[in-house]
Chain A
Amino acid sequence: MTTQVEYWRWTESRYTNPEVDWRKASTITAGIDVGSVSSKAAVMADNEILAYGLMRTGSNSPDSALNAINRAIEGTGLTMKDIKFIVGTGYGRINIPFAGKAITEIACHARGANYIWGPVVRTILDMGGQDCKAIHCDEKGKVTAFLMNDKCAAGTGRGMEVFADLLQVPITQVGEMSLQVDKEPPPVSSTCVVFAKSEGIGLLRQGWSKNMVLAAYCSAMAHRVVTLLERIGMEKEFVLTGGISKNIGVVSRLEKELGIQAVPLPKDQKFDPQLAGAIGGALFARDLLAKSRKAF
C-alpha cells in the first residue's frame, strides 16, 4: 500500500442504452450538470435515456460541460448538431455557452429523481461534495419545498473527507469501518467540521479506535441531515443521492433515526443516481423544446 491515499476516488464513466435508436427519435435533448466535483451529461431520445457521460469537473465550466457531453455522445454517432435543446444545471450552469436555458439543480434533481425512482418519490436528500440539498416534490417531480446548504461543510462530503484524512482512512471504507463497533458511541457533539476534527483528535487521545471515531462522526452527520429534512417536511418515500449516499455508515444511521428505509433503485435501473440532475435537465429541455415548437 502506498502512503498517498486517494480519499475521493471514483471513476469517470459513460453509458449507451443499447435499446434506443436515436435515428428513429423525433426529439433529442440533453441536460448537463456541472457540479463542483463532477460534470454529468445525459442525452435523451424522446422519453428514453440514450447515453450519459460522467467526468471530473475541470478548472472551468464551459470546458467541463463540453467534455461531459462529448463523452456522452462518444461512439453513438450523434453530433452536437443533432441535439436540439440543452439545459444547463448545477453549480456551473450559467457558464455553459451552448445551453439554451439554465435551470437550478434543485428543480432538475427533483425531476430526475422522479424519472429514476418513479412518481412515488416525495423527498430527495442530495449530499454532495460541497453542499447538501433537501428537496420535497410532488408526483410529477415538481418541487414543493427545498433548502440547499452550501455555506457550511458539515453534512457534506467535504466534512467526511476531513475525517477520512484525519484518520488516514480511504473515504470509500469509512462507512463499513464505522459499522464495525461493539457499541454505538454517542455522536460527535460539534457541528462545525473544524471543531469536530479537534473533538475527534481528543477522542483518539482518549483511546478510542478509528472505527469508534468514524461511528461517532457518521452518526453526527446522519443526525444533522435529519434536522434539514424536518425543515422541508419529511415524507416516507425518500431517496438519497450524491456521494454520501454511498456511505453505508451514514445511510444506515439515517434510516435508523428516521425509522424508515430509503426507496430502493428500481431493478431495471441502469443509471447512476448521480445522473439525476442531468436527466432532469434533459427532461426540462424536452418540455421547453415542445413548448417552443407549439409556439410556431
Chain B
Amino acid sequence: MLSRLGRFFVLSTSYIANYGYADGSGEYYVSIDSEKCNACGECIPACPMHIFQVEEDDYGDMAAVVKESHRKSLKYVCAPCKPTSGVRNLPCQKACKPGAIVHSW
C-alpha cells in the first residue's frame, strides 16, 4: 500500500485502537494495531458479522477500523465468535496476515 510505503519517508504515528467498551459484565474490545495493519482489507469479507471497514485515519493513513455502528454492541455482535462458542481460530484473526487484530476475549 502506498500509504504504508509512506511510513518510510514521513514519520507517521502508529497506535493501538481499542474499539468497544467495558461494562458491568466484562470487557469487549477489538484492538487494531495501526503499525501492523497494512489496510489490505482481508478482514472485511472474513468477518461473518461485517464489523470491519478500511478508512483513512486522523493522520492520513489507511487502516482497518471497527464500524461505528458496531462499537457499542460488540458483546452481542461478536458473541458467535467467542471461544466459548467453540470457535478457536477467530475468522478476523486468521484473515489478518500481519496479525494486527487482537480480541479482549
Contacts and interface: CB of A to CB of B under 8 A. Distances in A.
A127 interface: no
Contacts of A232: 16, 18
Contacts of A190: 24
Interface in A154-206: 154, 190-192, 195
A282 to B, nearest CB: 15
Contacts, number: 61
Interface residues of B, number: 19
A21 interface: no
B29 A151 contact: no
B17 A151 contact: no
A224 B59 CA distance: 30
Nearest to B71: A151
B69 to A, nearest CB: 12
A143 B15 contact: yes
A200 to B, nearest CB: 15
Interface residues of A, number: 27
A228 B29 CA distance: 11
Contacts of B21: 149-152
Interface in A132-158: 136, 138, 142-147, 149-152, 154
A227 interface: yes
A28 B12 CA distance: 25
Given A104-B58, A149-B22, 18 more contacts: A103-B58, A138-B13, A142-B15, A143-B13, A144-B13, A145-B17, A146-B16, A146-B18, A147-B18, A147-B29, A151-B21, A151-B73, A190-B24, A195-B24, A227-B22, A228-B22, A231-B18, A231-B22
Interface of A: 103-104, 106-107, 136, 138, 142-147, 149-152, 154, 190-192, 195, 224, 227-228, 231-232, 284
8 contacts: A142-B59, A144-B13, A145-B15, A146-B16, A147-B18, A149-B22, A154-B23, A231-B22
